[in-house]
Amino acid sequence: MKYFTEIRNKNPKGELVYNKKHKKVTCAVYKTNKGFVAYIDGDHLDTFRSEKDAVKSIETAIKELF
């Protein structure tokens, strides 16, 4: 059984599994029940099946932006 404090304090995006800066831009990957969700500077990029695919897509998007 979950307590109310656990539900209230849970991050709505999911569990943070990757957080790094690429060329001064904050990038993060969260694990949710649907898969791994990639964010670049707080903006939702896409949902992926694996963390490795999410990180690769972040790196590709950053290369295209800069």
Q: pLDDT by residue (tens digit) across 7-34?
A: 666 666 788 999 999 999 999 999 998 9
pLDDT at 7: 64
Domains and CATH numbers, the chain: 12-65 (2.30.140)
Q: Given its phi and psi angles, is residue 62 left (phi above 0), alpha (psi -120 to 50 degrees) or beta?
A: alpha
Residue of higher predicted confidence among 36 and 4: 36
Contacts of 6 (CB under 8 A, 6+ apart): none
Residue with tokens 């896409």: 46
Q: pLDDT tens, 45-66?
A: 999 999 999 999 999 999 998 8
